[in-house]
């Protein structure tokens, strides 16, 4: 295998180039694998916890915001129906001695549990069963969770539930029948239904009733049989449908992460492409000699592909390792975002599935092969002549240029057409974005030459002949500079696109918060905004507030959840004075008219993501399940809301009262008199509530800051991806330019022999690389901005239903330009230093 040896040794003789290519693949694969692992671990944790909670349940009886009246369960239980049913109460609690840990409380009826969940305590199965029923505050945990909480049976712990402290006693440990159940049981508190009602203060109400109904035709019969026992506002849904709609919530978020990670891989692919193209261009005389000796085209193609595959394999293996390490960090960020935006999810460990690793392996090797295919075919086309002249190669490159520009422009136009077509597919959005990137990459060499020619005269004026030479070298070496510049442009543009999207979003959210938050002080009870079982404010506190001086007016609000076949939505029951209503941004319609409708008729206003997800607009009718049965509400207006991507329905307090019950209050907006001092009143209100219930009291400014902090937390993972893309870009720039300069050793040696001083050589080499960096930075700006526009106007809109303003933050554009320039100049330093150190004669001989 002498031929293979020739190829392999070529790689080994260019260790820096090899190293950078391997690092490029490794970073690309690492980012994709890390995101994939973090996503799949979060999904696995979700499905395990959903499985743990629902067990063999086929259907669920669900109610309105307040849950299902207990009476319904009693009726179903006593009815002559032949299927199993079990009541469930669900809620969340934190543990006083383990800050940051959230446990899920699952209140069950041990008498009814048998057919539903294997691990739940049933009659005769556990000796702790009677204690669970008879002793108030008794709970059970899995051995692992108990161990983590340092609890043994008969020990007590204090839980924080809705801002109140509750003491519970561990009466026994749950035995998981298998490994899967054991994982699912983590962070789950199992208790009797009565204890759960007491802990969560849901007296007389259930979260839902689980059912096991027959399948097929019998299912419809069973559902019909059930109907008489239900009441308005209570419905039966399929358990898997409910689970799916929960999982669906995070789909867009995870898809976005995956696509952004793919961007890193695309940049990595360009790196490989660049490396392999370069190694082919560089070896043209060698390949020509091999062809003269009788090596066939196929053998040459195979040689280059195998070389690429070796680089890809090394990079992929390193990338898998990097991916696993990175995934541990990203998992925390992904979970935190899911917790902030969607639902409480505890993910303890990374699930390293062979599938995820195999996907990474396939992707890394596949991307390498795809990227290396063009240079390999190009190598195969090498004419078998002793030495092919550079002018011939460059001439062909130049002849291909118009084609590249034409195909590139075509791809960009196609991308635009794809975006203008009706439809909301996120995948199509991403395909269009990748088409735009590829198209732009193809026209980059043409644009680069055009810009360079323009620079020739000014550079000659500034730097004399050396300046002119630098430009001409780049123009003349299109086969080398074209691909490198395109690779750099893609890499730098990716960082611009994501950076501008995040900053635009942040500015929009900040402006929105300024407008939306109109009260001076906000008070809420503790707990997640729209989680079931949020504790209401004590009436005594409300009475005390009336006595406080300096308050002009108070508005009351209640956060509730509404569940239906479409999934879970947030129901915000609020008193909104007209002045505050002015802070709402409406997508269309006259604000005053919307307000009149909202205030005086059977109408609600819905958030933009809600309207987007359900394909609703102003004037449409929205059916809601009320305590008087399903009722239709007119949509008075669609408002901008960045608080959640699940969607929010805001309803006037008085209207809610008509169709449900008198709402409690869990949040207050306090408007102060002009003379009042906000910070002083915040302190006063905190003291006022201290002996009644724990509250969160925020000044308008603090709440805005806290909201922006949540925003930053949510986008932390995106920012990390951006930094990784910057890193890949940096390595790419170094790789491409350093290789280009090292390859020119002979040419530089000739210049040195001709009288160029080491200083002049430094200037020439770093000038050339700097020029490419500057060029790549400049050319990346339009693509980066276009990518940002696509992310803002298409991807975010299709994924989350958010529309946002576009902010072209100059600092991000400047950073990108600087990144390209610094990396490019750095890339020139080593070859310049090497050439300045080497005797020209030595360099000439080595070549």
Partner 1 sequence: MSDSLVRIDNLSKSFREGEAVRYIFHDLNAAIAPGEFVVLLGRSGSGKSTLLNLLSGIDQPDRGTVMIAGQNFTTLSERQRTLFRRRHIGFIFQFYNLIPTLTVLENLLLPLELIGTSDSVARQQAQALLDEVGLADRADSYPDRLSGGEQQRVAVARALIHRPRLLLADEPTGNLDAETGQQVLNLFTGLAQQYNMTTLMVTHSLEVARLADRILTIRDGQLFEDTDMENRR
Residues that bind partner 1 (CB under 8 A): 1-3, 5-10, 13, 285-286, 288-298, 383-387, 845-846
Distance of closest approach, residue 314 Cβ to partner 1, in angstroms: 19
Distance of closest approach, residue 2 Cβ to partner 1, in angstroms: 5
Nearer to partner 1, 1 or 549 (CB): 1
Backbone conformation region of residue 137, classed left if phi is above 0, alpha if psi is from -120 to 50, else beta:
left
168: which strand partners?
A: 157
Distance of closest approach, residue 9 Cβ to partner 1, in angstroms: 4
Measured CA distances, 476 to 449, 457, 502 (Å) = 9, 16, 39
Distance of closest approach, residue 39 Cβ to partner 1, in angstroms: 43
Nearer to partner 1, 240 or 846 (CB): 846
Closest CA to 302 of 17, 10, 3: 3
Q: Is the CB of residue 373 less than 8 Å from the CB of residue 453? A: no
CA dihedral (227, 229, 233, 235) positive or negative: negative
Nearer to partner 1, 48 or 843 (CB): 843
Distance of closest approach, residue 801 Cβ to partner 1, in angstroms: 57
Nearer to partner 1, 10 or 83 (CB): 10
CB-CB neighbours of 5 under 10 Å:
9
Residue partners of 64: CB distance under 8 A and separation at least 6? 233, 234, 562, 625, 626, 627, 660
Nearer to partner 1, 354 or 399 (CB): 399
Which tokens hold the place of 66?
Answer: 């307040």
Distance of closest approach, residue 727 Cβ to partner 1, in angstroms: 31
Distance of closest approach, residue 384 Cβ to partner 1, in angstroms: 4
Alpha-carbon torsion angle 497, 503, 504, 507, nearest 10? 180
The string over 363-389, giving b where at least 16 C-beta atoms fall within 10 Å of a residue's C-beta and e elsewhere, is bbbebbeebbbebbebbbebebeeebe
Nearer to partner 1, 28 or 380 (CB): 380
Distance of closest approach, residue 10 Cβ to partner 1, in angstroms: 5
Distance of closest approach, residue 838 Cβ to partner 1, in angstroms: 14
Closest CA to 96 of 4, 175, 161: 161
Distance of closest approach, residue 833 Cβ to partner 1, in angstroms: 22
Residue partners of 150: CB distance under 8 A and separation at least 6? none
The Cα–Cα gap between 174 and 140 comes to 6
Distance of closest approach, residue 744 Cβ to partner 1, in angstroms: 17
Q: Is the CB of residue 509 less than 8 Å from the CB of residue 707? A: yes
User: Alpha helices of 757-809 — where are they, by DSSP H?
Assistant: 758-790, 796-800
CB-CB neighbours of 847 under 10 Å:
11
Closest CA to 594 of 572, 571, 619, 569: 619
Distance of closest approach, residue 289 Cβ to partner 1, in angstroms: 4
Distance of closest approach, residue 386 Cβ to partner 1, in angstroms: 5
Distance of closest approach, residue 765 Cβ to partner 1, in angstroms: 23
Nearer to partner 1, 540 or 846 (CB): 846
Nearer to partner 1, 321 or 388 (CB): 388
For the chain, how are helix, strand and coil distributed in percent, rounded to 5? Answer: 60, 15, 20
The Cα–Cα gap between 202 and 662 comes to 16
Nearer to partner 1, 385 or 591 (CB): 385
The Cα–Cα gap between 270 and 484 comes to 9
Nearer to partner 1, 6 or 616 (CB): 6
Report residue 524: phi and psi, to 5°.
-140, 155
Nearer to partner 1, 11 or 764 (CB): 11
Q: Is the CB of residue 181 less than 8 Å from the CB of residue 54? A: no
Distance of closest approach, residue 287 Cβ to partner 1, in angstroms: 10
Which tokens hold the place of 202?
Answer: 């849901």
Q: Say whether 259 sits in a helix, a strand or coil.
A: helix
User: Alpha helices of 283-347 — where are they, by DSSP H?
Assistant: 284-293, 297-341
Distance of closest approach, residue 403 Cβ to partner 1, in angstroms: 18
Distance of closest approach, residue 8 Cβ to partner 1, in angstroms: 8
Which tokens hold the place of 75?
Answer: 């009726």
Which tokens hold the place of 189?
Answer: 């508190």
The Cα–Cα gap between 26 and 495 comes to 18
The Cα–Cα gap between 347 and 334 comes to 10
The Cα–Cα gap between 592 and 30 comes to 53
| Side-chain half-sphere exposure of 823, counting CA atoms within 13 A | 29
Nearer to partner 1, 10 or 830 (CB): 10
Closest CA to 108 of 93, 123, 96, 95: 123
Nearer to partner 1, 308 or 771 (CB): 308
Nearer to partner 1, 123 or 383 (CB): 383
Nearer to partner 1, 285 or 536 (CB): 285
Q: Is the CB of residue 803 less than 8 Å from the CB of residue 797? A: yes
| Per-position DSSP letters for 14-26, written without gaps between them | SHHHHHHHHHHHH
Nearer to partner 1, 164 or 385 (CB): 385
The Cα–Cα gap between 580 and 844 comes to 78
Residue 164 carries which DSSP code?
A: E
Report residue 209: phi and psi, to 5°.
-120, 125
Distance of closest approach, residue 750 Cβ to partner 1, in angstroms: 16
């Amino acid at each position: 295998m002498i031929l293979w040896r020739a190829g392999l040794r070529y790689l080994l003789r260019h260790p820096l180039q090899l190293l950078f290519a391997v690092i490029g693949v490794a970073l690309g694969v690492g980012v994709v694998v890390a995101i994939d692992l973090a996503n799949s671990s979060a999904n696995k944790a979700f499905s395990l916890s959903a499985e743990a909670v629902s067990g063999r349940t086929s259907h669920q009886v669900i109610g309105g915001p307040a849950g299902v009246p207990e009476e319904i369960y009693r009726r179903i239980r006593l009815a002559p129906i032949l299927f199993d049913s079990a009541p469930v109460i669900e809620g969340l609690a934190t543990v006083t001695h383990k800050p940051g840990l959230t446990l899920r409380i699952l209140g069950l009826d041990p008498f009814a549990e048998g057919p539903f969940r294997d691990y739940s305590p049933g009659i005769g199965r556990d000796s702790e069963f009677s204690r669970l029923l008879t002793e108030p505050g008794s709970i059970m945990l899995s051995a692992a969770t108990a161990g983590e909480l340092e609890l043994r049976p008969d020990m007590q712990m204090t839980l924080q539930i809705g801002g109140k402290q509750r003491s519970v006693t561990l009466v026994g440990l749950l035995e998981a029948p298998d490994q899967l159940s054991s994982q699912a049981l983590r962070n789950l508190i199992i208790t009797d239904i009565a204890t759960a009602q007491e802990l969560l203060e849901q007296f007389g109400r259930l979260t839902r009733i689980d059912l096991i109904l027959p399948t097929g035709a019998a299912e419809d019969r069973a559902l019909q049989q059930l109907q008489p026992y239900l009441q308005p506002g209570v419905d039966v849904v399929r358990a898997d449908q409910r689970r799916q709609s929960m999982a669906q919530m995070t789909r867009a978020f995870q898809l976005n992460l995956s696509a952004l990670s793919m961007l890193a891989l695309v940049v990595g692919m360009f790196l490989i492409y660049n490396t392999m193209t370069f190694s082919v261009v560089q070896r043209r005389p060698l390949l020509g000699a091999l062809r003269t000796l009788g090596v066939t085209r196929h053998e040459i193609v195979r040689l280059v592909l195998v070389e690429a595959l070796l680089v890809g394999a090394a990079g992929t293996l390193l990338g898998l390792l990097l991916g696993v390490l990175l995934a541990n960090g990203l998992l925390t960020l992904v979970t935190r975002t899911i917790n902030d935006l969607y639902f409480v999810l505890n993910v303890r460990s990374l699930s390293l599935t062979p599938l995820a690793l195999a996907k990474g392996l396939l992707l890394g090797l596949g991307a390498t092969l795809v990227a290396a295919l063009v240079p390999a075919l190009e190598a195969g086309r090498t004419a078998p002549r002793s030495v092919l002249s550079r002018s011939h190669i460059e001439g062909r490159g130049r002849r291909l240029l118009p084609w590249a520009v034409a195909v590139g422009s075509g791809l960009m136009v196609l991308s635009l057409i794809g975006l203008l077509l009706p439809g909301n597919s996120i995948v199509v959005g991403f395909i269009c974005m990748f088409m735009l990137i590829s198209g732009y990459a193809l026209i980059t060499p043409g644009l680069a030459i055009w810009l360079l020619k323009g620079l020739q005269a000014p550079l000659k004026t500034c730097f004399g002949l050396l300046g002119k030479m630098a430009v001409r070298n780049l123009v003349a070496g299109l086969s080398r500079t074209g691909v490198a510049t395109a690779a750099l442009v893609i890499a730098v543009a990716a960082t611009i696109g994501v950076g501008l999207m995040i900053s635009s979003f942040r500015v929009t959210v900040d402006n929105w918060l300024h407008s939306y938050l109109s009260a001076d002080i906000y008070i809420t009870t503790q707990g997640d905004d729209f989680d079931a079982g949020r504790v209401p404010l004590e009436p005594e506190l409300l009475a005390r507030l009336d006595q406080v001086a300096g308050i002009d007016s108070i508005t009351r609000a209640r956060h509730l959840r509404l569940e239906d076949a479409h999934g879970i939505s947030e129901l915000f029951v609020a008193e909104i004075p007209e002045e505050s209503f002015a802070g709402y941004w409406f997508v269309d319609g006259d604000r005053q008219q919307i307000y009149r409708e909202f205030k005086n008729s059977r109408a609600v206003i819905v958030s933009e993501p809600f309207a987007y997800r359900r394909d609703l607009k102003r004037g449409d009718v929205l059916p809601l399940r009320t305590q008087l049965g399903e009722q239709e509400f007119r949509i008075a207006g669609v408002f901008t809301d960045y608080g959640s991507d699940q969607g929010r329905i805001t309803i006037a307090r008085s209207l809610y009262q008509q169709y449900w019950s008198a709402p409690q209050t869990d949040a207050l907006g306090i408007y102060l008199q002009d003379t009042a001092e906000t910070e002083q009143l915040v302190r006063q209100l905190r003291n006022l509530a201290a002996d009644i219930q724990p509250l969160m009291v925020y000044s308008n400014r603090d709440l805005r800051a806290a909201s922006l902090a949540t925003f930053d937390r949510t986008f932390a993972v995106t920012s990390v991806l951006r930094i990784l893309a910057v890193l890949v870009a940096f390595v790419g720039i170094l790789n491409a330019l350093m290789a280009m300069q090292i390859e020119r050793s002979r040419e530089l040696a000739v210049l040195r022999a001709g009288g160029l001083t080491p200083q002049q050589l430094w200037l020439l080499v770093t000038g050339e690389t700097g020029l490419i960096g500057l060029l790549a930075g400049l050319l990346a700006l339009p693509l980066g901005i276009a990518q940002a526009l696509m992310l803002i106007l298409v991807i975010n809109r299709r994924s989350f239903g958010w529309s946002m303003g576009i902010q072209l933050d100059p600092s991000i554009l400047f950073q990108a330009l600087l990144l390209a320039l610094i990396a490019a100049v750095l890339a020139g330093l080593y070859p310049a230093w090497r050439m300045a150190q080497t005797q020209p004669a030595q360099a000439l001989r080595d070549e």
